[in-house]
Structure 1
């Protein structure tokens, strides 16, 4: 299976840590996990509250 090895879920992963694809995948995973742990900015939370208020007022009007 050349440089790739099949996982049980059907995706392929690089065998070697020296493989550029393995390095990219590792860095992307690390970046994703760091972003995932960040708190949402207050401005974003305020916008979500405004959206909820508008949606509920539209539903009441119908």
Structure 2
């Protein structure tokens, strides 16, 4: 699991709840441990991708953003 900043925790929680609800619908026959672990993995991946996009935007040249 990745280390979260205080501002990222509510975002991760929202991802986790959303993904867990979807997994329960799709894999309801699986055990709760599987669903919790898989939901945490997916939420971590989503937050990691979000962090990467934010850092790419910060380091991008100004013309990448588009015309003002």
Give the TM-score range, shorter chain: 0.3 to 0.5
The structure with the largest alpha-carbon Rg is: 1
Task: Considering fraction of residues, name the structure with more helix.
Answer: 2
TM (normalized to structure 1)? 0.39
Q: With a CA cutoff of 8 Å and minimum separation of 6, indicate the structure with the bigger relative contact order.
A: 2
